[in-house]
Amino acid sequence: MKTLIQNGTLVTASETFAADILIEDEKITRIGLNLEADTDHRIDATGKLIMPGGVDPHVHLDLPMFDTVSSDDHYTGHKAAAFGGTTTAMDFVVLENEGFDHSVDLWMKKAEKAAIDYSFHMNLTRFDEKIAKAIPSLMDMGIQTLKVFTAYNGRLRLDDGGIFKALQVARDNGMLVMAHCENGDVVETLTAQALADGHTEPIWHALTRPSWGAVESSLRMAAMAEQADAPVYIVHMNAGGEVDMLQYARERGVKVMGETCPQYLFFSQDHLSRDDGAKWICSPPMRTEQDNAKLWDGLRQGILQTVGTDHCPFYFDGTQPIVYEGSEIAIPGKELGRQDFTKIPNGLPGIQDRMPIMWTYGVNAGYMSANQFVAYTSTNPAKIFGLYPQKGALVPGADADIVIWDPEKQVRYGVAHSHQRTDYNLYEGWELTGYPEKVFLRGKLIVDGNEWKGKRGDGEFLKRSEGMIL
């Protein structure tokens, strides 16, 4: 099967240029002006932008949490991703008591319904000699990344000694540690005090997880990485001070990279004081408008490396079903914590929103160039996570994961427009200019305007090898 996309403007992480692009089966085979070829399909992309499919490095699909599960699975979440221009997503395997093989098998089973390409990170939530010895086996499985937590005491957190040893093991095996940075002890103390004082409203989620904890923990993580001579990637950076810490460490040659997410660029903890404040509950929490501005600066100046989503959706009111692909479905959600903020499932939707929102409110608003947009949402995650140039690139030989982007398309965005399986959208009513028109996954057209042409099982597991340090 050959498809020729003609007359478009290619936008990569470094260049913008007019060219045609030829797809043969699953691959891009030629790029150039006025290409001639015998083809099955021709698409006229006059006035459109051609970009590599988005790579979302941070999602949580079908993740059990408290007494429920994140409401998008590997089909619904992937379908939503595709409508937003993302063709690769990486989610996190929960480490079960039985060990890595068993845990990865469980996640492989969940992902059999994948609709876009995917890979996994391993949550390293226990550390001992047995686990240390088993870590290299993850590389054989194509899992090159370990997530560690400095918060969630007694559940997910490793102590600093465990994190330091994990960094050393990762270094010796060409792996990358990803770090969730908050101060777990401070969070636990403030949470217990808040509950004892009768504070149960959503705003207390933010008040008990202060940004200084994220700031010092980010610097601590960078310092440990330097002492272990290992790279580290700090996920969901949310506080302006974290950008300062990242800059401080990077200027001193520390191999530390940072990811932020759209929610930390647009919202503040004031949103948690609203009647529907639970919609904005995730960890780490929203901060202040000053933090939003500092994170934008971090993107503009290239101090940060990626924009992921941390997509981990829950219904706002999971007692009420929504209609998804013709069937009613209700999944318990944020209402579980109506009486107690600590019982509100942590996480929010974003996998479809990321690219359209960042385009209108990042590129069109002048905060970043179109090339930076491609770098942050596609090329840099592909490079860091060992997928480049198979993913994140428009070059002959790359997978034909391609977005034809209509920069003029006007959309009034919100839950009705989104395919994320939840009953709300953080960007309800936001006006967008620019939206994906067609999305190809390895040469197959999976989104055509409003039409879904993908299916369960279209997505393939991506075995990853050592990535780049940016």
Q: How many residues bind ligand URP (CB under 6 A)?
A: 8
Residue corresponding to tokens 């060990």: 99
Is 182 a binding residue for Zn ion by CB under 5 A? The answer is no
Is 310 a binding residue for ligand URP by CB under 6 A? The answer is yes
As measured in angstroms, the least distance from the Cβ of 159 to ligand URP is: 18
Is 347 a binding residue for ligand URP by CB under 6 A? The answer is yes
Which residues within the stretch 89-118 sit at the binding site for ligand URP (CB under 6 A)? none
As measured in angstroms, the least distance from the Cβ of 68 to Zn ion is: 16
Task: Tell me the CA distances in angstroms from 462 to 56, 375, 385, 388, one per residue in order.
Answer: 13, 20, 11, 12
Residue corresponding to tokens 């993913």: 391
Which residues within the stretch 14-73 sit at the binding site for ligand URP (CB under 6 A)? 60
Binding pattern to ligand URP, positions 160-199, x when CB under 6 A? --------------------x-------------------
Instruction: Report the distance separating Cα 401 and Cα 458, nearest Å.
Output: 13
Q: 72-103 in b/e burial notation, b at 16+ Cβ within 10 A?
A: bbbbbbbbbbbbbbbbbbbbbbebeeeebeeb
**56 interacts with, out of ligand URP, Zn ion, none, CB within 5 to 8 A per kind:** none
Select the residue interacting with ligand URP from 283, 306, 352, 422 (CB under 6 A).
283
Residue 69's nearest CA partner among 456, 353, 345, 281 is 345
Name which of 146 and 312 has its Cβ closer to ligand URP.
312
Is 242 a binding residue for Zn ion by CB under 5 A? The answer is no
Strand partners, 317: none
What is the widest separation between alpha-carbon atoms in the chain? 73
* Token pair in block for residue 324: 């998804």
As measured in angstroms, the least distance from the Cβ of 422 to ligand URP is: 14
* Token pair in block for residue 212: 């200084």
Is 444 a binding residue for ligand URP by CB under 6 A? The answer is no
Binding pattern to Zn ion, positions 258-297, x when CB under 5 A? ----------------------------------------
Exposed / middle / buried, residue 285 (Cβ in 10 Å: 0-12, 13-18, 19+): buried
Give backbone dihedrals phi and psi of 252, rounded to 5 degrees, phi first.
-100, 15
Select the residue interacting with ligand URP from 312, 344, 398, 426 (CB under 6 A).
312
Give backbone dihedrals phi and psi of 202, rounded to 5 degrees, phi first.
-55, -35
Which residues within the stretch 303-342 sit at the binding site for Zn ion (CB under 5 A)? 310
Instruction: Report the distance separating Cα 57 and Cα 325, nearest Å.
Output: 26
As measured in angstroms, the least distance from the Cβ of 450 to ligand URP is: 30
Amino acid at the residue 239: A
Select the residue interacting with ligand URP from 55, 254, 282, 370 (CB under 6 A).
282
As measured in angstroms, the least distance from the Cβ of 278 to ligand URP is: 12
Positions that interact with ligand URP (CB under 6 A): 60, 180, 282-283, 310, 312, 346-347
Positions that interact with Zn ion (CB under 5 A): 180, 310
